[in-house]
Amino acid sequence: MSMQRRRAPSHVVWLRRAVAALALVAGVVVLVLLVASAFKGPDERAAVQAYARAWERGDTRAMHRLLTGAAKGAHPYDDFAARQQGALATATATKVATGTPRKAGEHSWRLPVRVETKAFGPVRGVVAFDVADEDGEARLDWHPEDVFPGLARGERLKRTTRMPDRADLLARDGTALAEGTERTSTLGAAAEAIVGTVGPVPKERAAEVRRRGLPTDAQIGLTGLERIFEERLAGTPGGELRAGLRLLAKREPRKAQPVRTTLDVGVQTAAVASLAGRLGGVVALDPRNGEVLGVAGIGFSGLQPPGSTFKIITLAAALDAGVAKPSDTFPVQTAATLSGVELENANGEACGGTLAESFAESCNSVFAPMGAKLGAKRLVAAAERFGFNTPPGIVGAATSTIPPAEEIGDDLAVGSSAIGQGRVQASALQMALVAATIARRGKRPAPTLDLEAAKQDAPTTTAVPASVARRVGRMMTGVVNAGTGTSAAIPGVTVAGKTGTAELRSTKRCEPDPSGVGGSESCPADQQPDPTDTTAWFAAYAPAGDRQPRVAVGLYVVGAGAGGETAAPAAKQVLLAALKR
């Protein structure tokens, strides 16, 4: 029996045909998209954006890699980088920011750019790029005018700059230290001692001046406060920025606000008077916050062997390490032998006794062996905690130094370093900081001349534990009460200090009379002790004891004899002035 195939209903047939047709259309669409994508070419927008991001971060290498071969050939990397950096320097640029690239035509793009400048404020414009396909990669056809927004073909960026009048320098109470174009002050010598000078740009600072956008003929601070506060005193330069002859930006110079320093007029005047025209340096600090109250001579810049003022550090380190105890006693003698060499006390005097007595009388015969026992490594580490081998943080201030432990040498060299001789070098600022550190119970303040900054929490570095600082402070009061520093004593005020007499040359002119009669008078006239052989030092703070210290002083006078005879009474003048504040 034959069977007939059943025919599908008409609506089912229609549905099948529709599905087949849709599948065919979809296939054609996919094929078209694939073909279109194959001929779309490289992503031009992504290339411009990549260039913009590299420009913002100053990555000239990445920028140069995105150029066409022809552009790279015409402008190798060194030329390209020099042009980019030169344009930014001309504009006194501090930051480049870019916007969203916009297509301007077939293979043409416009990139919005904003350049922040020191002399002209924000400068806005557009940089136009043509983009080419090179081996399937989008590359920018760069030209020299693309270094800065707003430049047309063939134009170069030019700048003329003018400086405002220099801002005034003030003491903490508002008294002028330097004002007007003549930089004058009614304080006379007290201001001249610290204000410093203004002059033409030195060769070594030319790059700094270009970075700041100043004209090459600018007058800048060279020394003193003029140098320390240079950028704040200079104000904001103004002038014109041009693309060829076209004006891109213009701004008037702006004079800066007066700069108020931490200097106290009374203390500053006393600091200058204390040196009495002699070669030396003095710095007075407020130990509570590191404010510099007064500075004179070469207090910041001059380095000298600190002599026995360095024993403050040696004593603190020895107590901290347990090498010495307050209850220790020492033989009374005129010298100590280290590495087979005798190291004498000042003037061959005999001293010793308790640790406090030995410190008060500044016995080399006690502290040189103590330093050797402490060892170079611990001695240097202690000195560095007090600030040696670290820039003090004031522009132009010298760094006080002690050699690395491995370079000091034998016990004699370590002992000599422990009493502030050998290759140890310190400024008056450094020794004022040492005294301030003991005053602050072992915390070293950061010195500052900026009154605004001093109002904030003063940063400190722990040099020694508070218990050690208190013991050292008590022994420093013994120096002034009954030791070598009695000429710094102030009635009604407890002063803590330490004298120093640093040898510049050998002070041993002749052998003592074996009979013990006559003393130095038995030496020939040309071999008598010469005060110019030594630098006189004194480091101190007050009030000491239970009252909060308000001033710390470091002072030295070069070639002026003993610290107790010359430096201590000079420092007393500064202490008195500071205590009257």
Domain coordinates in residue numbering, the chain: 44-154, 162-260, 265-507+525-579
Crossing angle of helices 364-374 and 311-321, rounded to 10°: 50
pLDDT of residue 531: 65
For residue 556, what are the β-bridge partners?
281, 537
Q: Are 460 and 445 in contact (CB under 8 A)?
A: yes
The Cα 433–Cα 531 span in angstroms is 27
The tens-digit pLDDT sequence of the chain (581 residues) is 444 444 555 554 444 665 455 555 445 444 444 434 444 568 999 999 999 999 999 999 999 999 999 999 999 999 999 999 999 989 989 999 999 999 999 999 999 999 999 888 899 999 999 999 999 999 999 999 999 999 998 899 999 888 999 999 999 999 999 999 999 999 999 999 999 999 999 999 998 888 787 888 899 999 999 999 999 999 988 899 999 999 999 999 999 999 999 999 999 999 999 999 999 999 999 999 999 999 999 999 999 999 999 999 999 999 999 999 999 999 999 999 999 999 999 888 999 999 999 999 999 999 999 999 999 999 999 999 999 999 999 999 999 999 999 999 999 999 999 999 999 999 999 999 999 999 999 999 999 999 988 766 667 899 999 999 999 999 999 999 999 999 999 999 999 999 999 987 555 545 555 444 444 455 555 555 566 789 999 999 999 988 899 999 999 999 999 999 999 999 999 999 999 98
| Cβ density class 534-550: b for 16+ within 10 Å, e for less | bbbbbbbbbbbeeeebb
Instruction: Provide the CATH topology of domain 162-260.
Output: Penicillin-binding protein 2a (Domain 2) (3.90.1310)
**Encoded tokens for 123:** 């400068």
pLDDT of residue 522: 55
**Encoded tokens for 126:** 């557009």
Residue type, 278: R
The Cα 369–Cα 419 span in angstroms is 10
pLDDT of residue 192: 95
Superfamily of domain 265-507+525-579: DD-peptidase/beta-lactamase superfamily (3.40.710.10)
- Name the class of domain 44-154: alpha beta
The Cα 370–Cα 308 span in angstroms is 13
**Encoded tokens for 49:** 């954006």
**CA of 177: how far to CAs of 200, 288, 396, 452, in Å?**
21, 24, 19, 17
Closest CA to 479 of 495, 491, 464, 490: 495
Please determine whether the domains at 44-154 and 162-260 fall in the same fold group of CATH.
Answer: no
pLDDT of residue 453: 81
Query: Which residues fall within 8 angstroms of residue 384, CB to CB, at 6 or more apart?
Result: 390, 402
User: Taking the alpha carbons of 568, 573, 579, 581 in that order, is the dihedral positive or negative?
Assistant: negative
**Cβ neighbours around 384 below 10 Å, total:** 16
